[in-house]
């Protein structure tokens, strides 16, 4: 029975991104051998989060309340709507302290190879939200990979068709980097997006 419970724990840990069989085994053995109190805290935190954390009714980020704190914050610039792929992306932007508008979290990105299209990422809800008469600019902050670019392209066309101003996060050479070590695609985009 203990072997079945251990196997179930290892298998459960493998569902995490980037965690393979060996990493999952290491984690399971560590928790059971060296840190059972942390294992219990982890189990309780997961159970609580799964049962209590929902999606914000306005922006779809994770929230304990029906509407998240950002959406309720009257000091935010309501004419700006930043579109991100995930709550993690939103959290990263919030940590910069440089954006004071509102968000819309897609909870994914368009990926035809995985069978994920515009309807699967809540495009109709985004179009409705952006067309509320308050939003003046939609900032597309999807990731800079093929799926993120495809998502930005499709959303941009739909939003512009509704008469909205659409901008995209700039990309370029990272601060503190040396050009000889920067990938060619980044350098090319930095040249195209120069100001």
What is 25-89 written as a DSSP string? HHHHHHHHHH-HHHHHHHHHHHHHHHHH-EE-TTT--EESSSS-HHHH-TTSEEEEEEEESSHHH
Return the SS3 of 136: coil
By CB neighbour count within 10 A (0-12 exposed, 13-18 middle, 19+ buried), where does 157 fall? exposed
Q: What is the pTM of this model?
A: 0.82
Domains in the chain (CATH in brackets) are: 4-52 (1.10.8.420), 75-168 (3.40.1360.10)
pLDDT of the chain, 195 residues: tens digit per residue? 458 889 999 999 999 999 999 999 999 999 999 999 999 999 999 999 999 999 999 999 999 999 999 999 999 999 999 999 999 999 999 998 999 999 999 989 999 888 998 888 989 999 999 999 999 999 999 998 889 999 999 999 999 999 999 999 887 777 887 777 877 877 887 777 766
């Amino acid at each position: 029975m203990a072997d079945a419970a251990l196997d179930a724990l290892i298998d459960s840990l493998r569902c995490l991104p980037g965690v393979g069989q060996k990493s999952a085994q290491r984690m399971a053995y560590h928790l059971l051998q060296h840190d059972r109190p942390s294992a219990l805290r982890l189990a309780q935190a997961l159970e609580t989060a799964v049962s209590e954390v929902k999606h914000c009714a306005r922006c779809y980020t994770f929230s304990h309340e029906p509407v998240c704190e950002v959406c309720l914050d009257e000091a935010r610039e309501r004419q700006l709507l930043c579109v991100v792929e995930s709550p993690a992306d939103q959290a990263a932007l919030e940590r910069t302290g440089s954006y004071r508008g509102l968000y819309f979290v897609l909870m994914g990105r368009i990926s035809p190879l995985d069978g994920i299209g515009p309807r699967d990422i809540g495009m109709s809800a985004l179009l409705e939200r952006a067309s509320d008469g308050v939003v003046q600019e939609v900032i597309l902050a999807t990731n800079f990979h093929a799926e993120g670019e495809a998502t930005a392209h499709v959303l941009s066309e739909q939003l512009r068709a509704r008469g909205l101003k659409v901008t995209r996060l700039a990309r370029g050479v990272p601060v503190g980097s040396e050009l000889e070590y920067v990938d060619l695609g980044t350098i090319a985009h930095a040249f195209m997006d120069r100001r």
